[in-house]
Structure 1
Amino acid sequence: MKGELRSLTSARGLAAWLVVLYHMRASLPWLPVPAMQAADKGYLAVDFFFLLSGFVIYLSAHGALVRHGAGAIPDFLYRRFARIYPLYAVMLAGTIAFAATLGLTGRDMGGYPWRELPLHVAMMQNWGLTTELQWNHPAWSISAEFAAYLLFPALVLWTPIGRARRPNLLAGMIILMACLFLVMLEGGQTTLGGDIPRFGLIRCLVEFSCGALLCAFWLRGRDSDLLSMILSLSGVALFWGLWSNGRGSEIWTFPAGAACLILALAHASGFARNPLHWRPFVYLGQISYATYLAHFMLWIGFKILCVDDAGTVGTGTAAGFLLILFIASVILHEGIEKPGRAWLGRALPRHRRTGTASPVRLR
């Protein structure tokens, strides 16, 4: 094991705030053009999350699965459930309370259909069973990742990923990304963010699997961190350069560039003087799950209570919301997420524990 990858933790935190900006952008017409262009593409941070999650889950869990085989699967799944569900359940409960308030006051409840609520409770809402994003919209990606967790043991135990050579792992990533491109292209999509209820699940499964392959690729290497980081950043420049110049579809150029960026950040974690190792950045990563899961409903409530014109939220008001979101993220992380994970972790029978704790503080 190569230690804690704090660069990846920090990058996750920064990406979470890009998603926040994406959902706020319609109310911030005063943003400078470059900032608005970045905000318009904020949904791509979720693709970065999927790749990063696959990388981190493979790094933290593949060893126990290889050592203990299928017997480690229940422990792995329980730990993943304990990691994500306490905060997920609290945010869903808050959303239910909000929807009930809308109903009791005679307001429109179109975005909160009670008939779909059981799917959200079971984290199955984005398994191709619905046609629209409903309730707490960002939770669609948690549903998709839950499916990826269920399939991850099969990837480790019943594919050659654990013993494949680097060229074969690279070929596997290329094939997976090509399949995603072809499926979405056939479905009439030109961006990764299109028709999430229909394509979000495959988007997650492919990118999560590519992240796992990328981690296996990284673990096979004995390269110079500096040289490998430079080569990886060259890949970022190549793929994202093709994308920005309109010479390559976002569907494959963005994940390819994001994979190169994650590889560069993994190598950069070996440097003692790395700005991404600054404690505030790392902490943003540690609370990023709370930020991501809470911001959407908090923004809706904030606009109802504090904003007269939802189409134009002033700079001071927007800054106030961001501060409130940060404070809420800290409270949810420290008061719900961590205690919930610890409580469920203690409930796991001691003889079932296989030592799959992650060295990287990520969801």
Structure 2
Amino acid sequence: LATNLFLLQGMGVEDHLSWNAPSWSISAEFFAYLLFAAIVFTTGRRSWIWLVAAAVTAPLFLLAFSHRHMDVSFDFGFIRCLYGFSLGALLAWFQHDSIAEARQALAGDARARLAWTAAEMAMIAVIGVFVALAGDNDAGIAAPLVFALALYLFAHEGGWISAFLRTRPMLMLGALSYSIYMVHIFVQARMINVGGLVERKFGLHLLGDIVLRGDHAPGFGADLPGVGLAAILAMLVATIAVSWCTWRFVEMPALAWFRRLAKRI
């Protein structure tokens, strides 16, 4: 509990994922942000040099020391975070203005919209193939590079897929995304608990043994795919509902409090 309270669960202090498993990345991001602020404060316009250094050395470190390729969390999560964060920061550092100008140039150009839509569809296909082929080997360490390319492409907002992602429902999902990430494992675990109670109470066969990343775990629909599909849909609805509550009553008030505090400082 102490490591979670002090956001140390992604800094190599623990030898396992503890409490709310996804929060390891929040730990890693917190310290990455602190490091980034320190670098910018001390080196100013030369900060990009340190970002390049991190983007180059982090994947080499993972290649040398990670036994699980890119799937690191409690052990080398901070290194993984520095890798992706540095690439994103470099993209913003050098391409922010040019992307903004390109957005203006693309406005109202129907032919360009079709070309960008094709590029977006191709990028989605590339990501799908990459994840399928590189998810369990060292090639997966290139994931931040692939997603940096995707970020660069979609930041132009030139295609119809980007237009769809700017619709109100998608923007709402984007606003909820942090909460969704933080609560989805909790919601899933509670659904499995409820499923176990229902099984024992009514003699139904809902749960079974599934294999997740080589480990055995209880899950819905191990023998009945229909049950598994229904559980997935129920989990999606429940996760979004719970996420809205945490976003509305925890995340937004906390953001407002920090903004007021920042103004005083």
* TM-score (ref. length: structure 1): 0.54
Q: Deviations over 1:252-300 (max 9, x none)?
A: 2x21110011111111179898111111011001011111111111211
Partner of 1:189: 67
Q: CA deviation at 1:126?
A: 1.6
Q: Deviations over 1:55-114 (max 9, x none)?
A: xxxxxxxxxxxxxxxxxxxxxxxxxxxxxxxxxxxxxxxxxxxxxxxxxxxxxxxxxxxx
Kindly indicate whether residue 36 of structure 2 is the aligned counterpart of residue 127 of structure 1.
no
C-alpha change, 1:156 and 1:220, in structure 2 (3 Å) is farther
Other structure's SS at 1:138 match:
helix
2:248 to 334, 340, 350: 334
Q: CA deviation at 1:336?
A: 1.6
Partner of 2:77: 200
Larger Rg: 2
Q: Deviations over 1:191-233 (max 9, x none)?
A: 3114x22211110022112211111121242663458968986
1:152 to 17, 33, 36: 36
Other structure's SS at 1:268 match:
coil
C-alpha change, 1:273 and 1:134, in structure 2 (3 Å) is closer
C-alpha change, 1:210 and 1:327, in structure 2 (3 Å) is same
Other structure's SS at 1:181 match:
helix
- The answer to whether the Cα contact below 8 Å between 2:117 and 2:160 also exists between their aligned partners in 1 is no
Matches of 2:74 and 2:162, distance apart in 1 = 42
Count of residues paired in the alignment: 227
Kindly indicate whether residue 57 of structure 2 is the aligned counterpart of residue 179 of structure 1.
yes
- The answer to whether the Cα contact below 8 Å between 1:128 and 1:198 also exists between their aligned partners in 2 is yes
RMSD across aligned positions (CA) = 3.5
- The answer to whether the Cα contact below 8 Å between 1:190 and 1:250 also exists between their aligned partners in 2 is no
Whichever structure has more strand as a proportion of its residues is 2
Amino acid across the alignment from 1:292: Y
- The answer to whether the Cα contact below 8 Å between 1:235 and 1:257 also exists between their aligned partners in 2 is no
Q: CA deviation at 1:135?
A: 0.6
Amino acid across the alignment from 2:219: G
- The answer to whether the Cα contact below 8 Å between 2:10 and 2:24 also exists between their aligned partners in 1 is yes
Q: Percent identity?
A: 28
C-alpha change, 1:190 and 1:270, in structure 2 (3 Å) is same
Kindly indicate whether residue 233 of structure 2 is the aligned counterpart of residue 319 of structure 1.
yes
Question: Which blocks of at least 5 consecutive residues in structure 1 are unaligned?
Answer: 1-116, 353-363
Amino acid across the alignment from 1:279: R
1:263 to 152, 157, 177: 152
Matches of 2:47 and 2:4, distance apart in 1 = 37
2:185 to 296, 310, 325: 296
Partner of 2:94: 217
- The answer to whether the Cα contact below 8 Å between 1:181 and 1:251 also exists between their aligned partners in 2 is yes
Which structure has more relative contact order (CA 8 Å, sep 6+)? It is 1
